[in-house]
Amino acid sequence: MPQDKSAKKSAITPLSLKVGDLLTGAYSASRMSQANIAAATGMSTVTLQKKLAGTSPITTTDLVLIAGAIPDTDAGAILETAISQLGGYSALLSAACSIKSESEQKKKQAEARLMATEQIEENANRAENNKQERKRQSSK
């Protein structure tokens, strides 16, 4: 079954976006180029750009690598600032629970659609079999 593209999008959390914004501010203030940061982290420039722009999630490893490549930037401080700016830990936990709930709801809806499709196919097969059986009986 093809993977839903929205599943990938949901991995980009408000925290990931905020961390990307803070890292962008830090590298801009340091006057480093994205190419230099990418080289120092072992990422391609395109990958770094996607992470900082919020089109690809920033993992904990990414945060440590990127912050480590920017002078005077501490990954822990970036994370704490991001959490604080997003309303603290309880707000993030609430948002994460909401995202999980939405994801579970979408999964249940997809399962229901699949079951409905299977039921339609089964009914169509049954109807075809009944039609063929009536045809055989009428030709006797």
Query: Residue 1 — pLDDT band, cuts 50, 70, 90?
Result: very low
In DSSP notation, 17-76 reads HHHHHHHHHHHHHHT--HHHHHHHHT--HHHHHHHHHTSSPPPHHHHHHHHHHSTT--HH
pLDDT higher than threshold 80 for residue 123: no
Query: What pLDDT shows up at residue 118?
Result: 81
Average pLDDT over residues 21-39: 93
Q: Mean pLDDT over all residues of the chain?
A: 83
